[in-house]
Structure 1
Amino acid sequence: MTTVAAETEPYGRSLAELFAVQVRRQPERCAVEGPELRYTYAELGALAERFARGLAAAGVGRGAVVGVLGQRGPESCAALLGVAYAGASYLPLDAALPPERLHGMLADAGAVAVVRLPEAGRLAGAAVPVLRYREVLAAGEAAGDGPFELPGPEAAAYVMFTSGTTGRPKAVAVPQRGVARLSVANGFFAPEPADRVLHAATLSFDASVLEFWPTLLNGACLVPVPSEVLLSAPELHRVVRERGITALFLTTSIFHRIAEERPETFAGLRYVLTGGEALRADAARRVLRLGRPQHLVNAYGPTEAACVATAQLVTEVPAEATGVPIGRPIADTVCRVLRADGGPAEVGEEGELHLGGGGIATGYLNNPEESARRFRTLVLDGVPQLFYRTGDFVVRRADGGLEFRGRRDDQVKVRGFRIEPEEVRRALTAHPDVTDAALLARADGTTRQLAAYVAVRPGSAPTATELRAHLAERLPAFMVPATVTVLDRLPLAPNGKVDRAALPEPARAAEPGRPGSGAESVAGTVARIWAAVLPAARAEPAEDFFAAGGSSLLAVQLVARVQQELGISDLHNYQLVTELLGEPVLGAFGAAVAELVRTAAAEPPPAPADRWRPDLSWDRPRIGTAAPRPGWRTPHHVFLTGATGFFGAYLLRELLDRTDADVHALVRARDTDHAHHRLAEAQLRYGIDRPLPAHRVRPVLGDLAKPGLGLSELEWDYQAGGADVIHHCGAEVNFLYPYEKLRAANVHGTQEIIRLAAARAVPLHHVSTVAVVHGMGAAGVREVSETTPLDHVELLSMGYTESKWVAEELVRGAARAGLPAVVHRPYELSGDTTGHTWNSAAALCEFFKVIVELRLAPELDLPLNLVPVDFAAGAVVHLATRRPAVGQTYHLTNPREAMLGDLVERLRAYGHPVRTIGYHAWVDALLDHLADRPDHPFAPFAPLFTTEAAGGGMTVEELAGTRYSPRLDRSGIERDLAGSGLVCPPVDAALLDRYLDYFHASGFLPAPLAEEAVGV
C-alpha cells in the first residue's frame, strides 16, 4: 500500500506523490502504450513501487543517482518512475554512446548503479553495479508488498548532461520542483486524460522530460515511438494518424521540415510544441494556414531551467515578422533581462536573459568554476535569489513577451564587424525557395568568412549568386556571407537540431598566388624571419629559439614579422606566441604557422576552461605551530620575493626604514655578488639613490619557478625556521605568455611560498593585482568589496591575470586552513611621491608614450587609478606590523582617480597635439604604427587591445574601463591605515604634471612641440 503525504501546493510535492495522485484518480486508464506492451496507471504505479523496492534491495538509497541505460518504452517509464519512487535521481544514458563516454558520465554524476533496460546492450567496464531491469523488478517482488511511503522532493528529479565549452559535457541536476512546475498548471501545456502524447525524444535529450512528466502527471497516455519516425514527414504523418496522437513536441529544425513537407500533419492536434532553436515566421505561418492545431506553442528553455522557461501561444504571425516571440515565463519562473552593465534592460532594449524560480538547477555537478560563471545571485524584491545566465540575448516587448535575438556564443566577428548569424538566417529564409538555413564562421586562410548553408524547396534551384543578391538587398555588405552552399536538406544531429559539424566545406574557386599558400614557402618564410630576428641562429629545423638567444621580446618581434609577411590576422597573435613558447623549435613553429595559414580556425581555439583546476586541488601542507613563534609585530627576519622589481624594490626600502629586520631577498643570480649587484641596480633604476646596508640585506639565491624555490634543503630549513613574516611580491609579469608558461613562477611558486610559511604558521603577505576582478566585471558584477569572494577566472582572457587569480585563491585557501595570510591588491603602481620615478617599461607608461607618438588617443573610459609606489609599499609594511593576518584582503587603490581624458588634456597643455578618436579606429592606427616597428616597446602590450575577452564581446583593455570594471570598495584599508600618516595623493592635474615632468626630463617622452597649449 502506498502512502501519500498531504500537500496543498503542487510544486512542493515530489514527482512520485504527483504521479500517485493520478494512479488513485484513474487506475484503469492507459498510462503508456507501446507497439506490444501497454500499462494502465494502476499497473505502472505498481511496477514503479516494485522497482523502487528492488533498488532499495540493491543498496540504492534516497538521494542517490541511478543510471538508466536504454531507449523509451513502457519499461523505461516504469524504471524512471521507480527511481522517483525510490527517492533517487535518474541519469538517462544513451546506449549508442561509446562506453568510455558513458563511464565518464557515470563518474561525473556520482551514480551508484546502472539499470540496463531490456533492449540495451551490455555495458562493460563500468565502475558501478549494472542491474538488469527484470532483476530489479524480481528483487522488488521478493522484498514483499508491505506499506510503502513515497519520498519527498528532496532529491533531484534527474541528472542530464549538456554540452560544455571545453568539449566535456556538464552534469546538471534538475530539482523536482522544476519538473513539477513544468508539468502541472504550467500555463502553456495542459494534457488531459483523453490526450495521447507522442514520446519520440531520446531519454538523454531533455525534450523527453517535456513528453514524459506532463503526460503522466496529468493522467494522459504516453505513446513511445522510434526516433526515426521524426526524420520522415510521411512516416510521422502516418504515425500521428494511426496511433491517435493529439499532442507532440518537435525540435525547431524538424518542425521546419514538417511545416514545409507535410504541414497537414498538425491539423486538429490539441498541442504542437516546438523549441530548441529560433522558430521561423514563415514556417509558423505555413502551419497555421495549412495545418493549424488547437495550440501551437513556441517553447524556450535550457536544460539548466528544466527544459522550458518561457512559452508563446502562436495564433497568428504578422506578414512583416521574421521571427516568433519566445513568450512569457511559465509557472514558478522569473525572467530578468540585463544589459552588459548589469542594469535592467528597458522595453525594446536588448539584454541577456537570466532565469530564476523553482525550475533552476543549483549548478553543475563537480564543476564549481563553470557553475560560478553561469549561475549568479541577483536581488529580487530585496531577497537574494539564484539565477541562471543563459547566454541568450532577448528583447522585452511592450506586452511583456520576449523576442529571441541570438546567442552570445553564436556572435561572430568578420573583418572587425560583429554579426548576429540569426539575423542573416532570417533574411535567407525570407527567400521564397529557401526552407531552412544555417550560418557558420569559417576560416579562409587567415581571414574569417561567413558561410551560409540553405535547404531549398524540391524542384527549385536558386544559385548562390542569386541568394547573395537577395541578401544584399536586405543587409549591409559586411553581413552578406562570402559563400552560400545549396543543399537538399540540412543535416540533423540526434537531438533534432542542425548538425553543424556535418555541414560540408563550402565550394569555392582556387586562389592562386595567395601569400603563404604552400607549406614549404611558409616554412621558408618563417626560417628567414627567424634568422633575421636571431643573428646568432643557424636557422636549422631542430634549433631551439631560446638557446639561439631568443627572449620574450624577440618572440613578440618574430611573431609580428611572421604575421606581417604572411598576412596573418592579429586575431591569431596570441595563438602564434603560444605555439612558439609551447615548442620553441624552428621546425615545429614553421609547421604550426603553415597549418594556421592552411586551415586557420575562425578564431584561435580557446584554452581549456579548467586548465588551472589541478593547481587549485593541490596537496596543501598542514598548518603547524612549531617554535619559535613568528614575531610579526617587531620582525627580525623577513623573507622577501620580487625585490628586483619595481614594487619589490620599494618594499625592500620600506622594510629597512620601518623595521629593524634583516631582509632575506630571493634573487635569481649566478652567485652572491651578482645577487647583491641586481638588488642595488634595482634600487638605482627606480630612483632610490641610498645604498643598501649590506649587514641587513641578505640575498637568497633561488628561483620562484623551481621546486622548493631552488633552495638547498639547509637554506629552506633556515628560512622556514627563522622567518617572522613573508612578503611575496615576486611574479613573472608578461602580458603575452599563456597561463601554462607562467604557471611555474606565479602559481607553483606561490604554492612553495605557502609551504615555506606552513610549518610555523608564518604570516604571509601576498601581493596580487586588481586585474583579478576584471572577470567579475565582465560577468556583470558592479562592485567588489575587500570581502567579496573572487570569481569568474574564465573571463579574464590573459595568462598573467589568470595566474594571479589562481595564486590568490591558493593563498586564500591556505588562510581558510589556518595560515595567517593577507592579500594586497594594488591598482596601477605609479612613480614615487618624491622623485616621481616610474617603471617606464610598464604597460601604462608605454601606452602614454604611444599616444604621444601617434598623436592620437582612444575614446576609452579607462580610469587612471594611480597609486604611488612608495605609498603602497609603506602601507603594506605598516599593515604587516600593526594588523594580525587573518585572511583579509586590502585594495591598494586611489580613492580619487582620474580618467584617460584627463591625461590627454595635460598632454595638450604641455604642447603635445593629441587628438581623440574612436577606440577601434585608434587600434587600427596602432597596428599600422607597429607593423613597421615589430621591435617597438609597446608591441608586447598590443594584444591587450586586440585580444577579445572571453564571453564579453570587448577587448581585454576595454574590460578594464569603467563600463565593465567593478567599483572597488576600500573601506578595510581606510580603516586599518587610519592614524598611520599614510595618505594616497589624488590623481589631479598637479600629480599628472609631476609625472609628465619626469617623463620629459628622463627622455622617455619626446619634448613637446611648443610650450603653449595645443587645441583639440
Structure 2
Amino acid sequence: MLTNSPELPLKFSTLVDLLRYRAQNHPHQKIYTFLQDGETEAGSLTYQEVDRQAGVIAAYLQSLDAAGERVLLLYPPGLEFIVGFFGCLYAGAIAIPAYPPRPNQSLSRLEAIAASSEATLAFSTSSIFGYLKDRFAESPELRKIHLLATDKMVGSEDFSPHLATPNTLVYLQYTSGSTGTPKGVMVSHGNILHNLAMIREMSQSTPNSRTISWMPLGHNTGLVFGVLQPLFEDFPIVMMSPLDFLQKPWRWLTAVSKYQATSSLGPNFAYDLICDKIAAEERANLDLSSWELAGCGAEPIRAETVERFVTTFASCGLRPEAFSPGYGMAESVVFISGSGKTKPPVIYNLEKAALEQNRVVIVADESESTQKIVSCGRTCLDQKILIVDPETLTQCSADRVGEIWVSSPSVAQGYWNRPQATEETFQAYLADTGEGPFLRTGDLGFLLDGELCVTGRLKDLIIIRGRNHYPQDIELTVGKSHPALRSSCGAAFAVEVESEERLVIAQEVEETYLEKLDLDEVVGAIRQAVSQQHALQVYAVLLLNTGSIPKTSSNKIQRHACKDGFLNGSLDILAQWQQSLTDSPERENAENLEIFPKKYQTAETIQAWLVAKISQQLNVKPQQIDALQPLTHYALDSVQAVNISAELENWLGRRLSPSLLWDYPTIEQLSQHLVGESEQSEPKSAIDWNTEAVLEATICSETVPCELVAEPAAILLTGATGFLGAFLLHELLKQTQADIYCLVRFANDHSSKMRIQKNLEIYDLWHEDFSSRIVPVLGDVSQPQLGLDPEQYQRMASQIDTIYHSAALLNYVYPYERFKPINVLGTQEVLRLASQIKVKPVHYISSVAVFESSAYYQKVVTESDRLAHSEGMYLGYSQSKWVAEKLVMMARDRGLPVCIYRPPFISGHSQTGVWNTDDIICRLIKGCIQMGSIADLDSLLDLSPVDYVSRAIIYLSRQKDSIGKAFHLNNPQPIHWNKFGDLIRSLGYSINLVSYENWQAQLDKNGRSPDNPLYPLLPFFLKRWSEEQLTITELYQQSRRPQISCQETLAAFAGTDIVCPPVEAELLNAYFSYFIRSGFLDAPLEAV
C-alpha cells in the first residue's frame, strides 16, 4: 500500500471560481501563447481575455438553456479551444474534447462519441467550419448536431455563471481506444482540482515556472497540463500544434530553450524522436539548463529512452534528474504518480523469468535474462495505491506483481451512461476486508520502496505512440476488410520490435478462399482498412488456416496464445506478410531519392520523389507504390506522414502544411497540386457535363394534376439557416400568410426551430409573431426523398403548395464531387417532390456563375438565352450550379412550373450592413486590410445586397407571368475593382495598390496561417487552373467575362420600389460600419 494524507490546500471549489478570481486580480497577465508554425507567436490570451471571450460563448449557451448539454470541442490546434472549453464551464454545459476528423479519415470514432454522449452542439473555428459542416453532412449521426464557429460569436458578455459545485461535471474524456463501445469518463470540478493539487505537490513549481506543450488539447494530458495546470498554478504556457512538433521535432526543444521553460512533457516515443531527429549542430544552439521537469508518460517508459535522452542532451545543460517518469489515466483525470525533479529516475533490473510469473526479483547484473523497469514515481496527498491480485481481489505482498488499484478524490465519477462498466471499474472492493471503493486501472505493476512500477496490462489493450487501441475494434475492422476473411476469427496484438510496439494481425481465411488466396490483395485491404479506421500501420499479417486460431473452451479468441504463436512460429499459417525493417529496399530507395535535383520540380519528379520516400518509410520497393491508389492504402501512421511532409518541405524549399499527405487523396493529385496544377479540379474531359445533367425519367408533371395556387397556404423553403435563406424566410413571412416549412438538419423540432430563430436574430430579422408560422421539417436535402420517412414525404407532397429551393453548398476550392450531393442531387430531390401527388411551382436560386464557360467571354447574356456551354468551367461550385440548373430546365420542359433566379455575389443588407462575414468578399476585404495591399485588377465587382435579392425573388415569384422564366439579379451599377480599393482607403484604411503578382507573393507568404482570413481561399487565388496557367482571379478580368444583362428583370420591377443600390460610398459605409460594430474589423486608425 502507498498512501500520503496531509490536508489538501484548495482555495477554490470549482474551476469557474478560479478563472474568475484570476481575471479579477490579474486581468492583464498573459497566460496562454500559441506558436502558429511551432516557431512564431501567433496570438496570446490574458486572464481577462479568456474570461470575456468565454463569457460571450456562455451567454449564447445560456440563451439555449444548454446547462448539462454535451458540447463536442472540435478545434484545430490554437487558443480557440481554451475559450470554448471555459465557455462551456461558465454555462454549465459539459465539454467533450475531441479531434476534427482529417480529410479521408473515417468518421466512425466521432460518430460513436456523438452517439454515446448524445451531444447536441459542436464548437470549432471559422477556419474549418465549412469543412466540418461538409463532413457532418456525410453522417446521419453527426448531421443532428448544431455546429458553431465560436471565434465568430459576437454578443453580450453579461451572463450569470452556472452555479457549479465540486461534483458538477466539467467534461467527458473519451478514452482513445474503443470506437465500437466508447466510454466517456465523467470528470468533475473536484476531481480536477484535486489532481492539479497532486501535480503541484509532485512538481514543486514556483512563481517563476514556465512550461511548453505540444500535446493535443483533445487528449487529457494536453488539456490538464496545457490548459488547467497553468491556470491552477498561475504560470505562463507556450503551446504549439502536435503536427508542427512531429514535422520538425527540434521545434519542441527550441521553444524550451528560447522561453527557458522549467517543465514540459511528452510520451516515450517523443523523446526517442528528438534523439533521432535533432542533429549535433542543432543541439549546439540549445540551452536546456532551465528544464527542471521533463515529464514522460501515456505509454510504457523504456530505460533505454531515459538513458539515451539524458546522455544526448547533457551537453545542452540538461540535468539527469530532470527526466520525470509518471503514470496516470483519464479515469483519474490524468495523474496518479510522478517522480518529481530532485533525483534521477529509479530504474530496477529484474529477473525476466520471475517477472513472467508475476514475481519481483531484483538482480545486480544486466544480462539477456534480465529486464529493466523504470519507476513511475510516488503518490502524494491523500491518494492510496494498492497492488491487488486480480483473481482473488486481495492485496498482494511486496514481491508480487498485481493489478494497480487507486482510491483518491481525483478518481472520476464513472463512465457516461455506462452503469455496468462504471461498477466494474470504479467500484472495486477488497474481498477480504471490504475496503473500497477503488479504481481498477487494468494495469499490472508492483510497489517497491514506495516506487510504483508498471509492468503491463491485465487485458489486451494495445498502446502505440501514446494512443490506446482496443484489439476487438481492430479485429472487427479486419474481418470486414475483405470477403476472404472469417468474421470473428482474428486477433490483434502488439509485439516489441526495435524498442517500439508494433501491430500484428492474425486472421483466419474462409475455407472457400483457401485455394485462390491473393496474399497481396488481402494484405493490402487489411492495411488500408486499419489505416483508415484506426490511423495505425500494420507490422505483420498472418493468414491462418480455417479453424486454426487459438480459442478458449467458450470459443473466445486467445490473443496471448496468438502472440506466443507468432513469436515461436507455432501458428498454422497459410500465408504471411511482414514489414521489413532492415532489407535492402531502404538503401535502394535512399539512392533513388538522390536522383531528384531541386531545380527540376515537375509533377512527374515530385511524384517520383514521393513514391521513393513512401517506399523508403515502408521498406518496400518503389514498384509496389501506385501513385493512383489512395494514400491511406499504404497505412502511413501520423508520425511517418508528417515526417514525409517535413522532408518534402526541405526538398522543395517552401513551407508546406504538416497535414499535407492527408489533404490529397492520391500521390498523383498531391504532386499536381504542388506544381500548381490540377489541385482539386477535374482533369480535362474527366466529366461530360451534358451527360451529368440528366434528370431522372420518373420526375414528370404530365400525369399529376397541376393547379397553381395564387395564395399558397404551405410553402417549403430549403436553406432557411443560410444567409440568403434567412432573408427569403423573412420576406415570405412578411409578404404571405402561409406557414413556412423549413427543411433543416437537426436532432429535434425544438433545436431546429431555435436554430432558425437564432439565424434570423443574427441578421436582425426575428419577430416573435413569426414563431407560430415557422414549421421545421427534419430532413436532409442531399438524401433520397429529402431524408424524410415515407409517411412524412407523402404528407409533404400533398400539403406543400410552393417550393423555394435556396439550399446549396458554396465554396470556392472544393471539387465538383463535394457539391454534387447537395447542389445537384438535392435539386433533383426537390424537383421530385414538386412532381408528386400535386404539381408545385419550384423557385430555384441559381447563380450567374453558370455562365463561367469560356464560350461566353465578352458576350452579352440575357435572361432569355438558354444555358448551353459548359466548356472551360473550373470551379466545382460553378459546375454544380450549371448541372443543377440544367436539371431544372429539363423539369420545365416536362411541364413542371419553375422559375430561376441568378444572383451574383450577395452582399450585406443595404441599410443595416449586416452580412455573413464568412463570405469570400468579406474575407478578401479583411485579408487585403491585414496585408496592407490590394491587387491591381481590371475587373468589375458585382455585388447585390441581400435585401434586394430576397425582395426581388419573392416579388417575382408571386407574379403569374414569371413561371418558366429566368431572372438576372446582378447589380446594374457594379464598381471597378480598383475604385473599390479607393473607397476602402477613403474610409481610413491603409492599403497600397500593387500588381497582382506582388499581391499573390504577399498572400503566399502571409496567408498560410489558418488565422489569416484568406487561408481557406489560397487555391482560389494562387492555383493556376486554366490551360493558359491563369488563376481564377485572372480569368475574371473584364476581357474574359460575359456581360450579364438584367434588363428584362429590371423591366419586371416597373411600378415597384425594388431597386438595386449602386456599389458606391454610401453602401460601403453601411458595410464597414457593421464590420466594425460586429468586431469583424478594427476601426481605422484615422480617416483619410
Q: TM-score range by the shorter chain?
A: 0.3 to 0.5
